[in-house]
Chains A and B, each alone.
Chain A
Amino acid sequence: MLNVRVRPYSNPEVSFFLFIIISQLGLHTVTGVWPLPQSLTISMERYSVNPKDFNFGRNSSTQICSVLDAAFKRYFSLIFPDYISENDGLSSHDAKPFSLVVSLDHDDCEGYPNENSSERYTLIVSAGKAFLNAETVWGALRGLETFSQLVYQDYVGAFFVNKTEIEDFPRFQFRGLLLDTSRHYLPLNSILKTLDAMAYSKFNVFHWHIVDDPSFPYQSRTFPGLSDKGAFHPMTHVYTQADVRRVISHARLRGIRVIPEFDSPGHTQSWGKGQPDLLTPCFRGGIPSGIFGPINPALDSSYKFMTRLFKEVTSVFPDSYIHLGGDEVNFTCWKSNPYVQGFMQKMGFGSDYKKLESYYMENMVNITLALNKTSIVWQDLFDFHEPHRCLSVVAVWKDGCYLCEVRRVTKAGHRVILASPWYLDKPGPTHNWARYYTVWPLAFKGQKEQKKLVIGGEVCMWGEYVDAANLSPRLWPRASAAAERLWSDEKQTYSVEKALPRLQDFRCKLLRRGVQAEPLFVGHCRQEYHGI
């Protein structure tokens, strides 16, 4: 890095040009929507929207819906960020009533969003009225988000919305964001704030990489020793059952699924502290070295433990998916252990430790199948070229030709979640938003049916260098770039240049909503971030 030119101002014409663009963006006169809807017609005709005379309505069959009630409350403040009270003097001169009427085809509001939930909606804004129709409440949430982005303020602070017609639905069903709460503990508030911001970008899956080698913050009711011994601190650095419920319910109200990952058999150092005999004792020179490796796959007790743990986990987390991990298993320790070697002989694995891991993972998949859950595994297991009868969803995470991998996995008939190009813990500006935007998840050779197996993607915020101090600006707005790739039509969102002004504008909206979203380049927002 030392040799790189320092102040990126070598070309004044270019920088000044950008500067002009960005200055104009600060004006906020016309707003866009992020991520871009599938079909969008905005006319120049505009209607005033007055907070004093604005209301959310619903059609008769949508009367009782707690998710909508909560959403109306949230979105009123998001649409009218300055509105404090009835006495607020803003835009009182030409008060005309405006109502946004929501209708749902299926008025089931009690459940959780799931892999089949429709997020489709239509939004028609006309004089004094907007109609938002959706098949489900989850689609209505997406439509409310869109509507909130259509409303803008003029210079004296009056609110307006233009005549608009939108038909919208996501390109991919699975649009996830991974947080790693093991390498650094993230306070509950950081997670909740992230969920808020996810909803603004229409993400719908929170992949909670909750435990890993460094710490085990999940407080298990079946095995409390795991966090007592394995968390950074047993009182201050844990997620209680109440915390977890709060995260799930906060996410649900925003149409976000929570999929926990209990990664095994590797990445489990912290598990061993509170669960003796779970990990494989490594040997050196014929005796145990005192160091432990992955979970011991040769013991029945390991599977019994995992069964009980997953029984708890699947009851705590309502989503039908669970992430089993299975990545980066180091075989050195297994190889050193005579008992494991004996087990290999017994099972006829020879010296192929991939077979051993496959055996372990197959057991895990069966455990979760018995609990009626669909399992996601990292690609490693697939790469072993063992038969994978039970594999269902494979998360592709390795660098390199990741589309080659996507092609192979889908060819084998498995569903794919793409993560490789979206490792957001790598910092900008080398890994800037455009890099995450110009990802083409389906640009591989394959039949239509094969491509359908790509159910989506996720952005990953691994925690080696990230905690509550720098999480938000490292996530936003770069994660939003990936969000548009996963939601919007690829042909309409091909161009980085066209996306830039909309993303700039969206980033200012995020600031306005209190999200600590970092700048894309030189410029300003009318209202800057108020924290430090």
Chain B
Amino acid sequence: MMMMAVAWKKTFILLQVALLCQGLRYNDLYDDDLYSEGMYTEPAEEEETVTVRGDSEYGSLWPLPLKVQMSKVPFRLSSTGFSIVDAKESSVGASCSLLQNAYRRYYGYVFANIRGRRHEPRSSDIPELQVVITSPDSECDGYPSVTSDESYELSVGQPYAVLKAPTVWGALRGLETFSQLVYDDEYGAKSVNQTMVSDSPRFAHRGVLLDTSRHFLSIKVILANLEAMAMNKFNVFHWHIVDDPSFPYLSRTFPQLSQQGAYHPYTHVYTPADVKMIIEFARLRGIRVIPEFDTPGHTQSWGKGQKDLLTPCYSGESPSGTFGPVNPILNSTYEFMSQFFKEISSVFSDAYVHLGGDEVDFSCWKSNPDITKFMDQHGLGRDYSKLESFYIQRLLDIVTTTKKGYIIWQEVFDNGVKLKADTLIHVWKGNQQQYQAEMTRVTSSGYQALLSTPWYLNRIAYGQDWQAIYKADPQDFHGTDEQKKLVIGGEACMWGEFVDATNLTPRLWPRASAVAERLWSAKEVTDVNDAYSRLAKHRCRMVERGIPAEPLFTSFCPHEYKGV
């Protein structure tokens, strides 16, 4: 059962000086106001507590699989002899380009840093990883969905290593796990210990949100982060593609939206070809792409290319020249939305679209006399949340006709809008107590819930903040077992106010990895020390694969980041 990757043993005897103030160069709290002249305190007069952090018995596996049995029996992989192949009994063959592509990718990861000499195959070698898709429908040419089966079984031993999965989606996860089992022995040869893994995710929806409106993110950055997501078994890319500051989505139906609303109409847009490429790149890694077109608020950039879409704000009797949320009282608004979402439903293949609905500011609606009149006519009084509901209701009807399911931010639920039974409510607000109460409310109403509140990774703090991220659990709230089952997962969010290509990737990784394990691994996997050991190695692995993932703490990687 016990196993330690030899290559790591020497290097990761990490003395973690418990975060005593004197161990660091400044006080942990660094609250300036706490100190005044002459208040510097002497270092505590006690033995320094030093804890030696050992290696995890699970090596560098991340996220931790459901069941792992490892032995100390090592086998070698030869870069010349080893291959990843379809097993004879597999339901797919060479025509499944998704798998062929994945075999090549993982071969590359495993043999990225060959330092050992090539050697003739020996009896202690594993010559092949055979991949078996067991279900008649491999889903090789399909798209992953919320119901996709990502389970797999991996058996590493002689004569072959075997990976069995019902569908290609499980096979992708299993390939990642296999690649994480491989290590360099003391001579630099690629080795893997005899291991049995049986694995499936705890939650079906494990997402990362990227915001491409506040700052434009190049295709290259998005693709690199999809790669990193696959390394962490994330399966949803929530693409917050447009918002107030810019509209980079190039719409075929309404090209003026990005022509006028993007930061630049050519260099700062996503063309249909870009979008298609991102969706396919994600599909090949078992990742769904869910676009968010947030309305009626967060739409300033929409107004530049679409006249009369936004509500004109009034200052006294006359329009002030500024605009508010989408204008909910005009038929033209709904005609526009019908056409727009018709396009979206065909461009984006996923069964879900995120409709936003958060943070609608009512002051502009309040100022507009036409809106006031409309509200009177429809008996809405002065309750602007009812007007918002009126808008959302019609929008949901429109999106329903496109045969898409929808996800909405929690405000829409809070405001009592009538929702389809399969609507996902995305919880993002409040402190721990508040979001847990919200999870209770959402699930007791019978809706499925997604959690993001504790995982706003754009918020950063000095120190090891991954631990708080790691400790949050989406099923920690008051509710019945039935309610808990309605939690289908969560998302790590990287809002873009202060983030672009220069700092996105190190800010996201490995902090998002903490979310990944929470969403994939069993609820009981909560040992922070064990996680530290595995995550430190996992972060070095990401670095070796070209992802500039930032360090957890003082340490080193055998292969440091070379990108800069």
Contacts and interface: CB of A to CB of B under 8 A. Distances in A.
Contacts of B563: 468-469, 531-532
A526 interface: yes
Nearest to A236: B558
B148 to A, nearest CB: 28
A104 interface: no
Contact of B48 (A2, A332, A511): A332
A471 interface: yes
Contacts of B268: 524, 528
A522 B556 contact: no
Contact of A463 (B215, B554, B562): B554
A3 interface: yes
Nearest to B456: A6
Contacts of A521: 497-498
B502 A529 contact: yes
A183 B503 CA distance: 21
Nearest to A531: B563
B479 interface: no
A70 interface: no
A327 B361 CA distance: 52
B25 A528 contact: no
Interface string A329-345: 01110000000000000
Given A184-B555, A400-B39, A465 B45 contact: no
B359 interface: yes
Contact of A233 (B214, B216, B468, B556): B556
Interface stretch (A50-58, A423-431, A485-493): A423-431
Interface in A474-532: 474, 511, 516-524, 526-532
Contact of A467 (B264, B322, B359, B550): B550
A6 B429 contact: yes
Task: Bin chain B's interface residue count.
Answer: 35 or more
Contact of A193 (B459, B501, B554, B564): B564
Contacts of A520: 498
Contacts of B246: 524
Contacts of B454: 2
Contacts of A399: 26-27, 30, 32, 35
A208 B101 CA distance: 45
B22 A427 contact: no
Nearest to A524: B263
A29 B48 CA distance: 58
A522 B263 CA distance: 11
B426 to A, nearest CB: 12
Looking at chain B's contact residues, the main secondary structure is loop
B548 A401 contact: no
A428 B498 contact: yes
Contacts of B416: none
B246 to A, nearest CB: 7
B466 to A, nearest CB: 11
A427 B564 contact: no
Interface stretch (B90-98, B218-226, B230-238, B390-398): B218-226
A467 B562 contact: no
Contact of A518 (B32, B461, B502): B502
Greatest chain A CB density within 10 A among B37, B268, B543 is at: B37
A427 B431 contact: no
A7 B26 contact: no
B564 A471 contact: yes
Nearest to A194: B564
B564 A472 contact: yes
A465 B244 contact: no
Greatest chain B CB density within 10 A among A1, A193, A405, A519 is at: A519
Greatest chain B CB density within 10 A among A8, A330, A511 is at: A330
19 contacts: A2-B453, A26-B264, A184-B551, A184-B554, A232-B556, A291-B50, A328-B25, A427-B461, A428-B460, A429-B460, A468-B560, A468-B564, A473-B502, A517-B502, A519-B502, A522-B215, A522-B496, A522-B497, A523-B245
Q: Which 7 A-B pairs have the closest CB atoms?
A: A400-B35, A473-B503, A470-B506, A469-B548, A232-B556, A524-B263, A470-B550
